[in-house]
Amino acid sequence: MATMTYREALNEALREEMDRDPDVFLMGEEVAEYDGAYKVSKGLLDVFGDQRVVDAPISELGFAGLGVGAAMAGLRPVIEFMTFNFAYLALDQIINNASKLRYMSGGQFKVPITFRGPNGPALQLGAQHSQACETYFLHAPGCKVVTPATPADAKGLLKASIRDDDPVAFMEGELLYNLKGEVPEEDDFVIPLGVADLKRVGSDVSIITHGQMVHLALQASDKLESEGIEAEVLDLRSVRPLDVDAILETVQKTNRVVYLEDSWPYAGTGAQVVSIIQEEAFDHLDAPVLRVTQADVPMPYAKNLEALAKPSVEQVLESCKKVLYR
């Protein structure tokens, strides 16, 4: 195992895939000369040149569309958005073109494109730049949505996303780039999409989550353990495709569930997961499934209000105890 940051793991994945497959190229705002806004593409321009590491103008709809066309022509573009909040400007290309062209062409076109960049609430970036964007992309058939929480997952899932023949929205935790963790030193470390991971084993209550909220769930589970409560933490890793078998397995084991996400509650990812649980595992539940989410408001800029709007360890603890009737 090698210890590296989340940022370094992403860089290593890009480097390895670009070295393995000459059809892979990276394009986005400041990815070349500046090494990326979060330095994920550091050093790639020097290795692969400006034909494969391409600085794009601030026109997300334009360079996302260029990437879609390149994917239809047989290349494997990786399109970086400086933040996934900016991807909203490219939704027409991502949802109406990339996600639908394989279906609309009767399988004549594949669109192997990866859209990646930072996602989720950050620190005092305000309402327009500090939000979790998963729901906008997982709602559309044809688009896969991946949310890695650790350096190992970041590397293995990015490699799998680049190799996938369908468009993937690869959403990196904005607060995770400096996170350190162990990454396997295998020659070709790849994690399949749609396979959840048990980050902690428990028997009393299941905390199901994804993305940077995995770490909040682990903090909460540590506190619960000190009170004699064993919480299981299931990291979905990708929210489309969804590992339904893993979800049902943990529900059948603990009989109590809290879903944690840093997006809004209305029509969120958790709403879909809860729907699956009540349809497929209702008889295994000993309490209603509860959700812990961001407050249903635009993210405030003021630091004290921002803290109130974000999910907290205390909210997770309260919800876990509530489903346990403590």
Model confidence pTM above 0.75: yes
The pLDDT of residue 276 is 97
Residues 6+ apart with CB under 8 A from 253: 203, 206, 232
Mean pLDDT of the chain: 97
* CATH superfamily of this structure's domain 2-183: Thiamin diphosphate (ThDP)-binding fold, Pyr/PP domains (3.40.50.970)
The pLDDT of residue 316 is 98
CA distance 21 to 26: 12
- Is residue 129 annotated as part of the catalytic site, yes or no? yes
**Would you say 116 and 158 are in contact if contact means Cβ atoms under 8 Å apart?**
yes
> Which segments in the chain show pLDDT lower than 70?
none
Peptide bond before 241: cis, by omega within 30 degrees of 0? yes
Give the CATH number of domain 197-323. 3.40.50.920
The pLDDT of residue 271 is 96
Instruction: Out of 8, 17, 29, 129, pick the active-site residue.
Output: 129
Instruction: Out of 17, 29, 60, 306, pick the active-site residue.
Output: 60
The pLDDT of residue 128 is 92
- Is residue 230 annotated as part of the catalytic site, yes or no? no
Kindly state the percentage of the chain with pLDDT values over 90. Answer: 98
Domain ranges of the chain: 2-183, 197-323
**Would you say 251 and 277 are in contact if contact means Cβ atoms under 8 Å apart?**
yes
The pLDDT of residue 228 is 97
The pLDDT of residue 68 is 98
The pLDDT of residue 247 is 98
Distances (CA, A) of 300 to 129, 225, 263, 272, 288: 11, 33, 14, 26, 30
The pLDDT of residue 294 is 96
The pLDDT of residue 170 is 98
Fold match flag (2-183 vs 197-323): yes
